[in-house]
Each structure stands twice: as C-alpha cells, then as structure tokens.
Structure 1
Amino acid sequence: VTDQAFVTLATNDVYCQGALVLGQSLRNHMTSRKLAVLTTPEVSSGMRSILHSVFDEVVEVDALDSADSVRLALMQRPELGVTFTKLHCWTLTHYSKCVFMDADTLVLCNVDELFDREEFSAAPDSGWPDCFNSGVFVFRPSLKTYNLLLRFAAEHGSFDGGDQGLLNSFFSNWATADIGKHLPFLYNLSSSAVYTYIPAFNHFGRDAKVVHFLGATKPWNYKYNPQTKTVMQDGTTSGSFHQLPFLALWWNIYSASVLPLLEKLQKVESESEEYKNEVAHSISELTIHFKPEESSPEDERRKWEEGRIDYRGKDAFERIKKKLDAFLH
C-alpha cells in the first residue's frame, strides 16, 4: 500500500537509534505500508544515510519548540518542547492516511489494522485516561489541519508544554464523541504503567501489540550484555519483572539489526578521515616537491626582453611601484 505510511520523528542522532529499532520491528512483522521518518537538521548526514536503509522516506523538517519552560518543568521534562516538531507529520500529503509512532515505541506484532481507523484515533493515557497518549495515533495528512494546529498552538499553547497537551486540546472531543477512535491500550502499552494494575497486565498483557517506553529513561540508556541477552544499568540488572522482557526485545533488535549499520558507518567515516589525511599529506609533499626555484636576475631580465611579463604576479604595477618607492626612500 503506497499511499499509507507509518511515521516517526527523530530530532537528534540519539533518538535515531529508537527510530531505527521501531522501523526494523515494523519490517520484522512484515508491514505492508511505507515507513517514513521526520528528521531535524540536528541529525547528522551519516545517521540520515542509515535511516534510508530502514525507512522508505527520510524527510528533513524544521524543529518546532513550544519553549514552555513552566509547564514542561511540572513534568520535569524540559526536552519535550521539541515534540511540537511532530506537527509536521500533517504535511505529508502524498499519503492518504498515516499512523504516527514515537521513536521510543516498539511493535510486537503486525499492526497494519490500525489503518482501518480514522483520524483522530489514539489510546488512552495511563496517567489520565480521559486524555489520549500521543505516542501512537491515526491521522490524515492535511495542510489545512497543519495550519489550524499551528494557529491553535500560537493562540492557546499546550497545557503540558508538549505535543500531547496541544493535540488533546485540539481534538478535544476524543474522550466523548466516538468510541471507535479509542484504540485499545494494547496498541500503546506503557512499559512502566503495567505495575499499577498487575492483574490486568497478567490477564491482557500477552496480547500487547505496541509497547511504549515512556519516561526520561529510554532503552538506549541501558547497558546490554549480548552474550547473556540481559539488560543492565550501572552494572546491575535494572527494571522489573514485566519491563525487562520488553527492554530485552528492544535490545535484541538493536544488536542484531541496528548496531551493524552503526558500526559500518563508523568504519566508513574512519576510513574517510584516514583518506582525507593521506590526500592532504600527498598534496603537501607535491607542493614541496614542485616548489618553483627562485629566478636569477639574469633570467628575469631575459623574460622582460622576450616580452614574457607576469602582469598579475611579481611584475604587477603595484609591486614595481612598491620597489621604486623603497629605492627612492
């Protein structure tokens, strides 16, 4: 299906790692839709080349920031202001319908059925279920909607300083208008919220479709032992009984599919730097080797007599005038 796509966002090279794991998890589960990633200028050219190996489309957009330090401070997440950049996803008008997924989500099975839903479909947020979580949502690209969102952001801002507060205010009837636009929590399962209702997780958790690594600590902040396939942080096993399997799954994909791409890039960049140094050294050697010898006064006089005058170089009028002035002085 060429006119529908899963879309994600990476605002720097670190978040690109999450986007790559997400993209690879969608590939692993044989999605029939296109994969697109929005990037900002902060993403390096090398990382963009790796993104091209997993995503069908890599689109660079300008960063948008709420700059709402007060509300962001309430969540102790100042970095979330840049999530306003997510609004650019509505500009992808060559697609008829898309599913946006944050770069810190992970697909556990094929979820193409999400495209049967309409805008604006999302799952409830575990912290306040009358609000949706903006980590996974179904939308229809539209420049009209994009401009309305920008105007709404300018006039009303966001109650949490990030994209989630803005989108909940904009799509304000989500909680009451149409239950068909309420995605089951299994499509956006918070990997940390499962502990608040463990019996429910034990009963429904095996059917989870998308896991979302909410919070300031992301999977790439942990350490991983590829031999034992265990997740570590600060030298000790971190996480709890339910979170560890999700973290291990993320790291399995990272180590198998993403790390080799990063290592290849590192090798190419290293070889390229060595090549640059070799070329610079060779040019330096050639310059020294072919440095022209100083002409004798007799050679200079003979060139003048033969009409071979370097008007733009050493025989330029300004240089001759300078010599005469020095002589006369």
Structure 2
Amino acid sequence: MPELRILSFMPPYRHRHRGLTTVRQPWIWFPLMLGCAVVLHLRIAWQLSEARSARDHDDECRPEPIRTILDNFQHLHDLPVVNEQFFRSVPLVRSENAIVTSMYNDAFAVPIATLGHSLNKADSTARRIVFYFPGQVTERALCIATASGFEPHAVSRIEPPADGVFEHFMDQFTKLSIWKFDELGIKAVVYLDADTLVRRNFDELFAMPFNFAAVPDVYFWDPGFDIAFNAGVLFVRTSTKMFHHLVRQINTARYPHGEAEQALLNVFHGADAVRLPYIYNGNLAIKKRNPEMWEALQPELRLIHYTLVKPFWRGVYNETGVEDMHRNVLEKAEAWDGIFRDELLEWEEVWNETRATHRSAFTRCGWKDGH
C-alpha cells in the first residue's frame, strides 16, 4: 500500500512504517503552495473586477426605475380630451347646475372674488354659489367675495370627528353640504376650492351621467400619481338622502380623520368615483413631479389648483392686505426654487383685473379704491 504523506512545516524527520524508512522534506512544498495562493488571489480579484465593471455598465445603461406609469409620461398625441360634438348634443339647464365654492372666514374673500372673475372670463352657463358660515364671515368680506358673481348661501357648520382633524381642516366637513343643494333646485354641482383659478369653460362636466367624479391626487413625493382623488374639485349629483348618509359616516367609517372630508370621501366613493382627467384639477404638484406632463396639459387645462403655494395668503388662512398683495405674490414666487412663478403671476394678473373690473362693488363693500 502506498504511504499516506501529510504535509508538515516541521523540520525533516525520519518516519518508520511497515518496515520502510522515509525522510520527509516538507519545506519544499511551501513555495509551491504560496505560488498557488497568489495565482488564486489574482484570479478572484480579476473576476470581482470584471463583475463590478459589468454591474457599473448595467447601471449606466439601465433607465431610472418608473414608480408609476405617469412618471414615464410622454406627449405622444394632440387629440382633444373632450368630445365637443357629443357635448353640444346634451342640453344644459342653467338653473339646474351650479359651480360652488366655500368661505370659512374673511381670508377667503379675495381668492373667491378672483375665482369668480376667472369664471366670468370662461363664460360658464352655470349658477355660482358660495356657501359660508354666518358666524365666521363678516358682511364686508362676504360682500367682497360675491362682487364678481357668486350668490351667497348660508350653511350650518358640520362638526369634524370627535377625535379631531388637522387644525386647518376643522371646517372642511361642511363641504358635504353641497349634496343638499337639491333643496335649491340644483341637480349637479361642480365644487371648486377657493384656491383655484379657472382657465377655460368646463360646462361639459354637467353633461356627465355619473353621481360622483373627481381628479386623482398628485404628490411631489411618493406615491406620486395616486389612485386616491383630490377633493379640491368635485362633481356631484345632489341628493339630500346621500348627504345624511355621508354625515352619519363621519364618526363611524374607518379613515384617517386628520385628512378630513377628502379621506372620508375616498373611502365612501373610492370604488365608484369616476376619475376625471388632470385638466380639471391642475394641481401644482403635477408641475413639481413631472414638468413635461404639466407642459403637455397647458392647452386644455381648465383650472389651476394652488395646492403647494397660495399667492393670496401669508401662511394658512392668514389674510394678506390688498396693498401688500403684489409683494406677497413676489415672495411666494421665490419659493420652491421659483418653479411656480408663472402660475403665481398669472393669479395676480387675474386679481388685478378683478380689482379693476369690480372696483365700484368693492367700494360699496367698504373698501376705498379696492382697499
């Protein structure tokens, strides 16, 4: 049987096995082992380097991950969003349709007056109504807000959930009052938050056969383009019965109470709401999230929604004096690295038109030369 030799780094020694005598010289193996180790190390290093180079090449060639399909928006067509031929075939009765906004305190007077003037320019055929709280809005502010064409309509405040909401949403559940407008003979409502500005007519919404519609929400951070809708622009078929059903759910439905009526409506109508195109709610977050998409929307954009920055307030619900409005707009225009400057200046331009057009009405409200 051949001898089993075990490598050793001990000095040579004699070994007897089955009558045979051998002399081991283990030091002669050391150079060979060292050489093999060096070759193996170099081969592994080369393989790692090749793998790293391949990975770096893949990273350079691979496009950025697409979080939503609209993050990959491409302006591929100029087809109209609205079928004008169909719309012209649907008769609209002015008294049955209304564009509605809300006034929770005096700080809303200027933006609502400006919104009304932008509606006049768009030549909408619908009635215009602003609902307000008699105890929270002064006569002077209500007079200013309605100078450009809104009809005032007093409503009772709808209390938020017992465990409260974010402070600036405390009155927002009163928005549910629009469902009760069937009591005014109104069958359909397009609701607009006061921080919107109308670009062009959107009366085609009143021709829809659906009960509820809204525009999907957009966040400049993730989730980005969301399936949940934004409650700043709503289409509603009125129903007092539905109003009472909604109000009963305020304290019992499961939703994040802090997000107020928008969260409630998203769980209430989440599965059956018609999602409208972004042209009906030009949320400034779209421009921040995807400037190319914002640019593509411009030819058909019905309104701008000043979600991320408001040219008419100092902070939340902090009224800006008319004499300081220009300065306030310019300050806000520098926010967000100035990306919303054009939209803010556009609002100011419409406000200046509003002030010039309705100067006499503002004076009757108690303003001297619009102040």
User: Is the TM value for this pair above 0.5?
Assistant: yes
- Mapping for residues 49-64 of structure 1, pairs under 5 Å: 49-64=143-158
Matches of 1:10 and 1:71 in 2, distance apart? Answer: 19
Q: Percent identity?
A: 24
**In the alignment, is residue 152 of structure 1 matched against residue 243 of structure 2?**
no
* Aligned mates of 2:119, 2:235 — CA distance in 1: 16
Q: Root-mean-square deviation (CA), in Å?
A: 2.9
After superposition, what is the alpha-carbon deviation per residue over 1:93-118, rounded to whole angstroms, capped at 9, x for unaligned?
11011111111111111111111222
CA contact (8 A) 2:102 2:193 kept: yes
**Deviation of the 1:65 alpha carbon:** 3.5
The separation in 2 between residues aligned to 1:56 and 1:13, in whole angstroms, is 15
Alignment of 1:53-132 (within 5 A): 53-66=147-160, 72=166, 78-93=167-182, 94-117=185-208, 118-127=210-219, 129-132=226-229
In the alignment, the residues of structure 1 paired with residue 285 and residue 341 of structure 2 have an alpha-carbon distance, to the nearest angstrom, of 10
Residue type of the alignment partner of 1:155: T
Equivalent residue of 1:54, what SS?
coil
Aligned partners of 1:203, 1:68: CA distance in 2, in Å? 44
Partner Cα separation in structure 1 for residue 293 and residue 127 of structure 2: 34
Compute the displacement of 1:262 (Å): 3.9
Please list the CA deviations of residues 219-254 of structure 1 after superposition, one character each: whole Å capped at 9, or x if unmatched.
20268999x9993118x8445554222211211122
Amino acid paired to 1:207: E
Question: 1:37, 1:55 within 8 Å by CA — same for their partners in 2?
Answer: no
Q: Tell me how far apart the structure 2 counterparts of residues 137 and 80 of structure 1 sit (CA, whole Å).
A: 17
For 2:283, the equivalent position in structure 1 comes to 190
AA partner of residue 147 (structure 2): S
Is the CA contact 2:161–2:257 (under 8 Å) kept in the aligned structure 1? no
CA contact (8 A) 2:147 2:362 kept: no
Superposition map of 1:3-22 within 5 A: 3-22=96-115
User: Is 185-194 or 29-38 further displaced after alignment?
Assistant: 185-194
Q: Distance in 1 between matches of 2:328 and 2:244?
A: 46
Taking structure 1 as reference, are residues 240 and 211 closer, same or farther at Cα in structure 2, changes over 3 Å only?
Answer: farther
Alignment of 1:133 onto 2:230: yes
Distance 1:107 1:38 in 2: 19
Q: Tell me, in whole angstroms, the C-alpha distance in 1 between the residues paired with 2:110 and 2:275.
A: 29
Distance in 1, matches of 2:323 and 2:288, equals: 25
Change (3 A) 1:144 1:187: same
Aligned residue pairs, count: 256
For 1:160 and 1:246, locate their aligned partners in 2 and report how far apart those are by CA, in whole Å: 31
Is 1:265 matched up with 2:365? yes
1:212-251 to structure 2, matched below 5 A, reads 212-215=305-308, 217-221=309-313, 231-233=329-331, 237-240=334-337, 242-251=339-348
CA distance 1:238–1:35, shift in 2 (3 Å): same
Question: Residue 39 of structure 1 contacts residue 58 of structure 1 at CA under 8 Å; is this kept in 2?
Answer: yes
* Structure 2, unpaired ranges of 5+: 1-93, 315-319
Distance 1:231 1:141, change over 3 A: same
- 1:167-191 CA-to-partner distances (Å, cap 9, x unmatched) read 111112146xxxxx21101211111
Q: Which runs of 4+ in 1 moved over 6 A?
A: 222-226
Give the conservation status (yes or no) of the 8 Å contact 1:68–1:81.
no
Indicate conservation of the 8 Å contact 1:62/1:85, yes or no. yes
Match of 2:366, SS? helix
Q: Specify every segment of 5 or more residues in structure 1 that has no aligned partner in the other structure, as ranges.
A: 73-77, 176-180, 269-329
Range moving further from structure 2, 131-140 or 157-166: 157-166
Q: Does 1:165 align with 2:258?
A: no
Note the C-alpha offset of 1:50. Answer: 3.0
Counterpart amino acid of 1:171?
Answer: H
Seen in structure 2, the aligned counterparts of structure 1 residues 66 and 258 have a Cα distance that, compared at 3 Å, is: farther
Q: For the structure 1 residues 154 and 192, does the alpha-carbon distance in structure 2 shift closer, same or farther, using more than 3 Å as the test? A: same
The structure having more radius of gyration, on CA atoms, is 2
Describe how 1:39-50 pairs up with structure 2 within 5 A.
39-41=132-134, 42-50=136-144
The TM-score, its normalising length taken from structure 1, stands at 0.70
For 1:54 and 1:147, the matched residues in 2 are separated by 32
* CA gap 1:256/1:202 in 2 versus in 1, 3 angstroms: closer
Query: For the structure 1 residues 52 and 159, does the alpha-carbon distance in structure 2 shift closer, same or farther, using more than 3 Å as the test?
Result: same
Deviation of residue 10 (structure 1)?
0.7
Indicate if the aligned counterparts of 2:116 and 2:150 stay in contact, CA closer than 8 A: no
Tell me which of 300, 310, 329 is aligned to 1:207.
Answer: 300
Aligned residue for 1:38, secondary structure, equals strand
- In the TM superposition, residue 130 of structure 1 has moved relative to its aligned partner by 1.4
SS of 1:62's equivalent in the other structure is coil
Q: CA deviation at 1:66?
A: 1.6
